[in-house]
Structure 1
């Protein structure tokens, strides 16, 4: 199976961000991909209001992504924002990954909220409560979002539910050591779960001459595909780009034979 990771830099305007989805999806399909992954906050970049653009999964933005996937005949995973519950009168959103395409329809709400490094995602976002997996051509994928990558149990749970591949979509916060942490965590989660990890992040705004907005996590780039043995198979730098990789389920089976961490795992 061929997959593509679309490392884009989104902004405030939903239509312009949809144009990026349309453009990169077309390129992914032309490159032979069966699945194209977009980052967290594809719908609108962090640092802008979210409540006013949050919509249900059958709303106009998600419906347009669905139409693009159907037109190109490819599965798309992309970050958006859906309505959350009200907390003491204050409305919130959910940080959602939409997955849609031929024979596939699903969504995942980010479980671990980014209350770290001076940013408080929980002020405006409701946490999800359950892992989500989906199948493409007989291959099971698990979903995760950004800060989730710091929590191994989600990745191993996805693997125990049958995932051979874990997708983590991110808008990673910049700062000292943060790129190194992103790379380390993606590789560690691949080895923890003996899955491929598709780590797709927003590109670095500085790479195209843009300034980050305050403490908002707006991306550092370095999207990567990691093997079940922790080997980085493909990686981008900070600038926007499209990365392709071919995934072989036999590699996962081999890893789980040689490194049976899931079978040897003790639950306490």
Structure 2
């Protein structure tokens, strides 16, 4: 875990919309969000999990989307990032590279402001809960040496760690990212609506911020299937801005000085006596 002693700032945005299985409407929503973000000077935009499709679709539909549309969709996103001089986190599907496995992989893609692919993070915890079984359709990420499967990237003096939807319920993953120097946690989701699910979403986001004294950027797909409620959370757990159920954008400027102040006031990362030895 590293402490950021410089006084860096980063203007971030979290965008939300409801993705469908037709690529063009998704691209239109994303173009609108990226344009709005660029007009406000956003340097890092976080978009939802599976932004290219309706994630609850049957496996044949997901495979068709991943196989036929993913390359062109990714190229479109690269062009947007380059044209607007903006880093973008976006959820995509890809075909699993394991021979004989018909499932897809659920990934978060980080695009740099020159259009380069910075990294791909494959979702580690698939959503086998609340009478849903994502593992029937999605292959989870594999563990690698020295936790190289973790999604981390640096931007403007901040280190951002990636969390994909159901990952949020596992504090070990967030803490492993923090131990690798993250001071911002970026969450992309298609958080299903349902009894108390909206409460879980906000409580877990704020808990991850408080226990790790880090910012949390959370982007979710919207109604009718998902709950939306994209938000940006302060290192002390205050919600700095939130959207509702409609497509939209929340923008805030992060301050490394704020992280330093909070970690001096609440040094729980230094005070802990049990250590995470790894995710395996």
Per-residue CA deviations over 1:38-93 (Å, capped at 9, x if unaligned) read 10110112122211121599822111100111011111111010121457x44111
2:184 counterpart of 1:165: yes
Mapped to 1, the partners of 2:65 and 2:15 lie a distance apart of 22
Confirm or deny: 8 A CA contact 2:84 2:113 kept in the other structure. Answer: no
- Give the counterpart of 1:139 among 158, 178, 184: 158
The residue aligned with 1:210 is none
Mapped to 2, the partners of 1:60 and 1:18 lie a distance apart of 11
The residue aligned with 1:65 is 77
Structure 2 residues not aligned, in runs of 5+: 1-9, 143-148
Confirm or deny: 8 A CA contact 2:70 2:93 kept in the other structure. Answer: no
2:21 counterpart of 1:12: yes
Confirm or deny: 8 A CA contact 1:156 1:262 kept in the other structure. Answer: no
Q: 1:56 to 1:162 in 2, by over 3 A?
A: farther
Deviation at 1:199, TM superposition (A): 1.1
Deviation at 1:15, TM superposition (A): 2.2
The residue aligned with 2:170 is 151
Mapped to 1, the partners of 2:112 and 2:22 lie a distance apart of 24
2:126 counterpart of 1:113: yes
- Give the counterpart of 2:251 among 241, 244, 248: 244
Aligned residue pairs: how many?
255
Deviation at 1:34, TM superposition (A): 0.4
The residue aligned with 1:195 is 214
The residue aligned with 1:181 is 200
Runs of 4+ in 1 over 4 A off after TM superposition: 55-58
Higher normalized contact order (CA 8 Å, seq sep 6+, divided by chain length):
2
Q: 1:46 to 1:261 in 2, by over 3 A?
A: same
- Give the counterpart of 1:47 among 20, 45, 56: 56
State how 1:23-34 maps to structure 2 within 5 Å: 23-34=32-43
Q: 1:91 to 1:108 in 2, by over 3 A?
A: same
Secondary structure of 1:221's partner?
A: coil
Mapped to 2, the partners of 1:101 and 1:19 lie a distance apart of 20
Structure 1 residues not aligned, in runs of 5+: 206-217
Per-residue CA deviations over 1:199-219 (Å, capped at 9, x if unaligned) read 1111122xxxxxxxxxxxx31
- Give the counterpart of 2:270 among 254, 263, 266: 263
Mapped to 1, the partners of 2:67 and 2:192 lie a distance apart of 25
Deviation at 1:101, TM superposition (A): 2.1
Confirm or deny: 8 A CA contact 1:7 1:38 kept in the other structure. Answer: yes
The residue aligned with 2:135 is 122
Mapped to 1, the partners of 2:44 and 2:109 lie a distance apart of 13
Mapped to 1, the partners of 2:15 and 2:155 lie a distance apart of 18
- Give the counterpart of 1:225 among 229, 232, 248: 232
Deviation at 1:139, TM superposition (A): 1.2
Using the TM superposition, name which of 14-23 and 70-79 deviates more.
14-23
Confirm or deny: 8 A CA contact 1:236 1:243 kept in the other structure. Answer: yes
Mapped to 1, the partners of 2:186 and 2:161 lie a distance apart of 6
Aligned alpha-carbon RMSD (Å): 1.8
